[in-house]
Copies of this chain bind each other. A is one copy, B any other.
């Protein structure tokens, strides 16, 4: 890594944020709830300023020739600002992730061993276009007693600054240090490199964005990173599937929002049901503009299907494209997923409990769905209130991460003077 020497700008921000973290950690659950509610109210009150800043970002993005998909991610409108505030209210209303002991045990020597959740400390978010992440990430981090260091995409810098100003106003209203929500305002890329080296200050970095961003962060980080590379999600339609349900899961999974990570990318169909299911499935997909790329057995059923390459089975299309394969049985489906999957979400459609259980046990993804859409792998949908990201690595958190994933269990032990080696005491006292 031959980057320029760090300027110290991010280190100074992180240092102040880490000091401010103690003030957030010292709040009780009611205090953190009230703080996040005030954040929501200040976002609403800052509505006009946020939209004005966003218009500035959009104008610059259009001038720079950004594509329609990026512009849509960047766009805030009155409904989206209202949704932003609403999301914060939902985070505020979640149970306190730090409340009480999670476990308690009395040891044979009388020690009472509790585990209690504590905040991680300082969480760094590194993200791309969507300005809503600025508010969501800050709310989740503060709800869990952490400070947050935010480094959003340069294309959203005015929007992010306007949102951060609302969050700072909320902190001030509660007599808390603004530094607890630290925004890296200067878009220079070397600041990301500097941030990723701050292993004495940053407890966790969460990159959120395209695969290129994630790989850049993973490559350069000295701080711990929770990664989410991509979502190559599979739907396996078992021989014992209810075909109506399977069709619903397919259409919802592929066509309801193809650009997101929990959308389906590959359909696997048991050969015993392929002739009954695939013609209906292909017609429904075509009716929604989905391009299908299939194996030889799929194409034997429908000559219009294009041939799928090996690369198609590993692709996260993020588009109205679906790879299809007819498999001999559940084992072949599992082997396909093991080879091509991304540990994100897998779905089985089946009415056979044994097949469902074999699929659950045979996949290792962060979420496995039996007769439910892949689109449910989402913090809000699974009951976490909101999510700061979805982890596809098996460390600390796996799957959607809510406020609880921004905490860690410690040990609190209470005794009455117990020692480990009583036989060594006494004589010399």
Contact = CB atoms under 8 A, between A and B. Distances in A.
A419 B224 contact: no
A408 B419 CA distance: 33
A238 to B, nearest CB: 13
Interface size class of A (residues with CB under 8 A): 35 or more
A167 B364 CA distance: 26
A400 B409 CA distance: 11
A361 B117 CA distance: 11
A118 B372 contact: no
A421 B417 CA distance: 59
Nearest to A424: B256
A113 interface: yes
Copies of this chain in the oligomer: 2
Contacts of A173: none
Interface stretch (A32-40, A125-133, A185-193, A388-396): A388-396
A59 to B, nearest CB: 32
A249 B419 contact: yes
A373 interface: yes
Task: Give the most central of A26, A244, A429: most B CB within 10 Å.
Answer: A429
A371 B260 CA distance: 52
Given A395-B408, A428-B288, A413 B256 contact: no
A383 interface: yes
Contact of A398 (B381, B394, B409): B409
Interface of A: 26, 105, 107, 111, 113, 118, 120-121, 199, 203-204, 218-219, 222, 224, 242, 244-245, 247-249, 251-253, 255-257, 280, 284, 287-288, 349, 356, 360-361, 364-373, 375-377, 381-383, 393-400, 408-422, 424-425, 428-429
